Structure 1
Amino acid sequence: YADHVAGSLEFIDELALPPSASLIDLGGGASTLVDDLLARGYKNITVLDLSSIALQIARDRIGKAGDTVSWVAANVLDFDFPTNSFDLWHDRAVFHFLTDEEHRTTYARKVAGAVKNGGYFLISVFADDGPEMCSGLTVRRHSEQDLKDFFATDFEVVKSTRATHQTPAGAAQRFVSVLMKRR
């Protein structure tokens, strides 16, 4: 968990998408990314998370400004995303929980179908030297090359970075972030 996802915001700011751009924050829950996006003038935001409680925390925090946000409590693997609907799909720490190959393939199909041609996919997951467990669950770690190869059919890499995230408990977690563009 990260309250403010500064690394993601840097990528998003560099894209300079118009305020009308359609953005989805996957696994956004109680994160303040939606607050930061609203403050930047974005008007077409979806936040999808498994936890309706986490979504409600964000809604309560944001107040009336959150009325324009589409809040979706669902599993990414089961949700029917509208085709070619997002200019930016943001995933911070969802994909690394998908350790089953069938689930990973389903995820790739979902993101490819939902992101507009020429749109962007920003993914941040545990790096290949990151933790093997998170919240008591086994995760799959990735290198930049792993992500590039896995999503290569539909996306090309624009930029990637590696960073260390400090957890609320003080542990260091290595992350890799990759920005890709839909072919």
Structure 2
Amino acid sequence: MSSPRQQHWENVYSTRQADEVSWFQDDPTLSLDLIARSGISANAPIIDIGGGASVLIDRLLDAGHSALTVLDISHVGLTVAQKRLGDHAGRVTWIAQDVTAWHPPQDAFALWHDRAVFHFLVEAADRAAYVRALDRGLRPGGFVILAPFSLTGPERCSGLLVRRYSAAMLQAELGADYALVNQQPQTHLTPAGNRQDFIWCLFRKSAT
């Protein structure tokens, strides 16, 4: 039985084209820049949380990354990406799962990327579950890229309330084991022409 959260996102992807959703990016430049800034190797395992139909995975494959995983709550969203990639989809691990209910392999990933998932977790229990999954799945010394709406961003997205952040607020959610490496504001222009302010943060997990 699917949860209301999953049903919501399946409906979003079933009723709108991938390039019509508000978070669509034709060129995920900032994601790629921060991944490069981390200095991880091309064979280091990366997971994109909430990747859905995003083209980030295409760009990472093009750049030579070979250990890629995409997790999304929506089967439909993942299917869009798989069809777009064609034969190359087999080079990616696909996980249809709510990240707050996910139990990842221990220390499986060198980099955890999340653009526009964390801000939907308005309940403290969901955020705590997310951080537990992150703590388990990210290896010591690994990197986290979080990009939620900033304090000047929208209060709602895709019909849902969101929680807006500063870098300090994200730091507080992650805790002392994560050190802020870089932060950058970004104003995203949606396909409908609306402006959405994000805060991009790169953290590094303690090596011990």
What TM-score, normalized to structure 1?
Answer: 0.97
Q: Which runs of 4+ in 1 moved over 3 A?
A: none
Match of 1:126, SS state, is: coil
Partner of 2:24: 2
Letter in 1 for 2:161: T
Partner of 2:42: 19
After TM superposition, give the deviation of residue 2 of structure 1 in Å: 2.4
| Alpha-carbon distance in structure 1 between the residues aligned to 2:39 and 2:88 | 21
| Alpha-carbon distance in structure 2 between the residues aligned to 1:70 and 1:51 | 15
| Alpha-carbon distance in structure 1 between the residues aligned to 2:150 and 2:98 | 23
**Could you tell me the percent identity over the aligned residues?**
39
Partner of 1:96: 119
After TM superposition, give the deviation of residue 153 of structure 1 in Å: 2.7
User: Greater strand percent: which structure?
Assistant: 1
After TM superposition, give the deviation of residue 31 of structure 1 in Å: 0.5
Partner of 2:185: 162
Alignment of 1:79-90 (within 5 A): 79-90=102-113
Question: CA deviation digits over 1:134-175, x for unaligned, max 9?
Answer: 000000000111011221232110000101000111100000
Alignment of 1:20-169 (within 5 A): 20-169=43-192
CA contact (8 A) 1:22 1:45 kept: yes
CA contact (8 A) 1:85 1:116 kept: yes
Runs (5+) with no aligned partner, structure 1: none
| Alpha-carbon distance in structure 2 between the residues aligned to 1:95 and 1:42 | 24
Match of 1:140, SS state, is: coil
After TM superposition, give the deviation of residue 176 of structure 1 in Å: 0.2
| Alpha-carbon distance in structure 1 between the residues aligned to 2:107 and 2:115 | 21
After TM superposition, give the deviation of residue 64 of structure 1 in Å: 1.0
RMSD value over aligned CA atoms? Answer: 0.9
Question: CA deviation digits over 1:42-80, x for unaligned, max 9?
Answer: 111000001111111101111111101001111001111
